[in-house]
Structure 1
């Protein structure tokens, strides 16, 4: 009797992890096979290059290579923190990133909410096409369009300013207007694409919640406040956490193209400074040290923002 009970218990017990893994691998072999290219991509282009972080702690020499270069510890980090430009580029980077978070996320939500209320499908498709289009333009083209409007000598805006007897304004070289131009062009380019995520979130909201709200006598504004916005709250918090984690990435492509010597005071950011030091002046160690500093700060901010989101009732990233 005891032997039969032992056999029954053995059969009922879960299989060892190795056997379960083998069964899952056999059963889902095609899914795992499809994962291989993606895993290889991240391994080759994201994880293997992390070995290059050693350059930040060495006086890197191209002829000697990473392993042959002299170890100098935190010398390059001290070079960064002692630089007279460090606090200026940090301030510009943080300010531009905060502007992007504050002024760029709300238009995405508003556009998605407005499109969600449109009942004419043909009109909705036209608006989506018009608003999504700029996302697929490169920043070079966007700068060309901006230059055509705001150039001091040939811009359309300054043409009308002269026609009405005013003095032309050099918008693109004005310290007071440069950040506004960056944020405005970023909103114009990315709002339509950013709204796609919120439209997807809106599509997942249970329609029975709206029906229940109607039964309770709620109008469109009440439905928006009590059903729609809570339905996209987690998505908004997720995107906010990701943006906070990349707060030291203020948009290199855009800033580098729009930047000129007259607006370095308000427009020079960490990435443009790293580009000049790393590629133009060939100070690779200093550039890698700055990028490592950015990564540590970004990782810390993501962890902190995720915990803060969970504390206030959000789902966070994990």
Structure 2
């Protein structure tokens, strides 16, 4: 029995070795990716322990004193923390509700374009904003929205209206924030849905046409059900980031007049950790944010699996 077990292991090992040798170049290409994630993603995970320590930069992570959940008690006892959590959630929720259908609609419209050159031209223009950094976008749009010299307010004045301080009014600032975020990513996000549309069996459209279905009914009964799994997965992933906002967008578009609605977790962590050098408290906030995102992802994945049968695992 023992000899048979050893023989089975040798055969299995030989198969694995042969497979690795056969695909050696593919595995070699994986080495830089694995090294990147190991060095920059997995090793730094130990830094999470800073959230449970009174971190001293001179003593380092290992030499700093353990304080348990004291840092979490500190952040939960401040009103600013609840304000930035509310802002993060509301801005992400607004972007999700307003922006999530955008790439789907854009992909459906582009899918109906039959002139290939025009289609490629539109796609290139729609993808371009994704490659612009928020530094560039902020320096383009903030002057455009200026109440005194901005081109938009100049047009409003010409039409007899009063200038609007877009970046100084809380409601308008939220609208600008959400709108610019959608404008930047709508074209890039549509790529995924365009790829999903190419996977729909064309015979389904032919059958729908034979049954007398027009474009609208084809869209409702064939196209949307065909990309429904992709929509479910993308929605789950977006829900997993409901408490996570990129630092650059919020920091560059925000200002002191709208801090009450513009300060989010990422900018709050920056002000606490980098400006005030309270590394322990900023780590606790970041750890809390990660836990909330993980829980939200698990809940949305479970709900999607129960409702539509689609999930990411």
Pairing partner for 2:267 from 269, 272, 279: 272
1:213-246 CA-to-partner distances (Å, cap 9, x unmatched) read 1122211111111110011111111111111111
Instruction: Check conservation: 2:48, 2:283, Cα contact below 8 A.
Output: yes
Match of 2:138? 143
Instruction: Check conservation: 2:208, 2:218, Cα contact below 8 A.
Output: yes
Number of equivalent positions? 310
Residues in 1 aligned to 2:209 and 2:158: alpha-carbon distance in whole angstroms: 55
2:112 corresponds to 1:117: yes
Q: How does 1:139-288 map to 2 (within 5 A)?
A: 139-288=134-283
1:170-217 CA-to-partner distances (Å, cap 9, x unmatched) read 110111211110011111111111111110110111111111111222
Give structure 2 stretches of 5+ with no counterpart.
Answer: none
TM superposition shift of 1:15: 6.9
Match of 1:312? 307
Any idea what SS the aligned residue of 1:315 has?
Answer: coil
Give structure 1 stretches of 5+ with no counterpart.
Answer: 1-5
Instruction: Check conservation: 1:237, 1:314, Cα contact below 8 A.
Output: no
Residues in 1 aligned to 2:165 and 2:215: alpha-carbon distance in whole angstroms: 45
Residues in 1 aligned to 2:116 and 2:224: alpha-carbon distance in whole angstroms: 23
Instruction: Check conservation: 1:58, 1:72, Cα contact below 8 A.
Output: yes
Any idea what SS the aligned residue of 1:173 has?
Answer: coil
Pairing partner for 1:40 from 28, 35, 40: 35
Residues in 2 aligned to 1:76 and 1:233: alpha-carbon distance in whole angstroms: 43
Residues in 2 aligned to 1:213 and 1:169: alpha-carbon distance in whole angstroms: 50
Instruction: Check conservation: 1:152, 1:158, Cα contact below 8 A.
Output: yes
Residues in 1 aligned to 2:102 and 2:229: alpha-carbon distance in whole angstroms: 17
Any idea what SS the aligned residue of 1:85 has?
Answer: helix
Please report the RMSD computed on the Cα atoms of aligned residues, expressed in angstroms: 2.0
Q: What is the TM-score of this pair, normalised by structure 2?
A: 0.94
Q: How does 1:10-25 map to 2 (within 5 A)?
A: 17-25=12-20
Most deviating of 100-109 and 19-28: 19-28
